[in-house]
Structure 1
Amino acid sequence: MVSVVEYFFALNSPWSYLGSARLAAIAAKRGAQVAVRPIKLGAVFSETGGVPLAKRSSERQAYRLVELQRWSRYLDLPLILEPRYFPADETAAAHLVIAAESAGFDALALAGAIGAALWNRNQNIADWAVLDETSLELGIDVEDLRQRFSPEELSRTHDANTRAALDKGIFGVPAYVLNGEVFWGQDRLDFLDRALASIRNDM
């Protein structure tokens, strides 16, 4: 049986971006599938006591930048600490990822590419021109997806993903769920890898 990792994330999250490629590599190595679940992080914060970045203390905001720089260097993954278009309205981008997942495309690769547009290339992921260019690089036709899936349908899925995250006890992103066990944060990917390896060894 193929293991399925549910991946709950937000495209505005630099931590989701930093973990995206590693998640894909782990899944490929362990023969696992990834169910891609963009969520509304603001709604999760409001129900779980999370504090939006702009409302955090100056000390916490400053340390976040230190940690982002550390991880960027450690992973050798370029990251703009304070991108011009952050935070972006990620609704359209999240809906695009949901549509790509529903249509059978590599939604994890698309989510990673959109994250790179924001955190590496300093682009506005609320701009359809950016989303179109990013998608075409992966062989995904944005206009085709927009015709196949209505905004209302995609919005319902976005809300359902958010509700599912809350029901599973998720309070931040990225979060990875394997057989009901939550791994929160891209710095927990090693534990996810070990859990997947353990399942394969037991088969």
Structure 2
Amino acid sequence: MIYDGDEVEQELCVDLYWSFRSPYSYLALHHVRALAKAYALRWNVKVVYPLAIRTPDFFKRMDHMWRPYLLIDTQRIAESLGMPFRRPVPDPIVQDPRTLLISLEQPHIHRLTRLGAEAMLRGRALELVDAVGTMLWDGSVDGWNQGDHLARAVAAAGLDLQDMETAIARDPQARDRLIETNEAELRAAGHWGVPTFVFRGEPFFGQDRVELLLWRLRQHGLQARSN
């Protein structure tokens, strides 16, 4: 159904559920940038923890062919999109590479995801996941957690790393509650994976569903940007 009148004139909003460890979330940035540039869309980015944290036994239950296929698939998608691609160094998740067991201590992903939550509170979550996600996945940085790599990426999003981490340290539980709310809303929308786009309660899972999302948005009066 195509809406008319005032509803068409309003800027449409898409919720994007996103994880710093998900290669497909990184690859989705290509499409998000293009849509943000071309259309009058408001992006409501909601960071969540990766499945390795939300469902620690996920790797025990999956078929042994899943991970090799993932590596092949993500590399070729990146090549097709012209996106530089390499898994982050270090991995945001502390995980045994042989057994795939997840460590109880997870300093990297907690830090990154809380930064994402803080950016949500400051209204710059899209900018943060774009800048930091690119820094993690484009292969330009070794040791992203050392030196000023993370600070520079956060600054590119128009934010200050030290200021954000000071705010998080004052009340980390508030950021954790926001992340938990995002995860609950993702499931309530009808999915568990990332990236998931949600428009008016309808989920579109995966970076390869953007064309289908665009088709639905056009049914609701999606407008091209005038400039």
TM-score interval, smaller chain = 0.7 to 0.9
Q: What residue is the counterpart of 2:190 in the other structure?
A: 169
Secondary structure of the residue that 1:176 maps to in structure 2?
Answer: strand
Greater Cα radius of gyration, structure 1 or 2: 2
Q: Distance in 2 between matches of 1:123 and 1:154?
A: 28
Per-residue Cα deviation, 1:9-63 (whole angstroms, up to 9, x for no partner): 11100000000131132134221111110112336546xxx833x7644422211
Greater Cα shift, 71-80 or 158-167 = 158-167
Q: Distance in 1 between matches of 2:200 and 2:129?
A: 23
In 1, are the aligned partners of 2:47 and 2:113 still within 8 Å (CA)?
Answer: yes
In 2, are the aligned partners of 1:30 and 1:196 still within 8 Å (CA)?
Answer: no
Q: Is 1:36 paired with 2:42?
A: no
Secondary structure of the residue that 1:159 maps to in structure 2?
Answer: helix
TM normalised by structure 1 equals 0.84
| Residues 201/153 of structure 1: CA separation in 2 closer, same or farther (3 Å cut) | closer
Q: Give the drift of 1:128.
A: 8.2
Structure 2 residues without counterparts, runs of 5 or longer: 1-9, 94-107
Q: What residue is the counterpart of 2:151 in the other structure?
A: 132
In 2, are the aligned partners of 1:4 and 1:35 still within 8 Å (CA)?
Answer: yes
Q: What residue is the counterpart of 1:63 in the other structure?
A: 69
4+ runs deviating over 6 angstroms: none
| Corresponding pairs, count | 196
Secondary structure of the residue that 1:200 maps to in structure 2?
Answer: coil
Q: Distance in 2 between matches of 1:27 and 1:96?
A: 22
| Residues 123/11 of structure 1: CA separation in 2 closer, same or farther (3 Å cut) | farther
Give the AA of the match of 1:177. Answer: V
Q: What residue is the counterpart of 1:27 in the other structure?
A: 36
Q: Distance in 2 between matches of 1:163 and 1:189?
A: 23
Q: Distance in 2 between matches of 1:128 and 1:154?
A: 25
Q: Is 1:108 paired with 2:126?
A: yes
Q: Distance in 2 between matches of 1:6 and 1:152?
A: 23
Q: Distance in 2 between matches of 1:76 and 1:128?
A: 28
Secondary structure of the residue that 1:177 maps to in structure 2?
Answer: strand
Q: Distance in 2 between matches of 1:159 and 1:123?
A: 30
Secondary structure of the residue that 1:6 maps to in structure 2?
Answer: strand
Task: Please give the residue correspondences for 1:46-125 in structure 2 after superposition, counting only pairs within 5 Å.
Answer: 51-52=58-59, 56-80=62-86, 82-88=87-93, 89-105=108-124, 107-120=125-138, 121-124=140-143
Structure 1 residues without counterparts, runs of 5 or longer: none
Q: Give the drift of 1:129.
A: 4.1
Q: Give the drift of 1:109.
A: 2.4
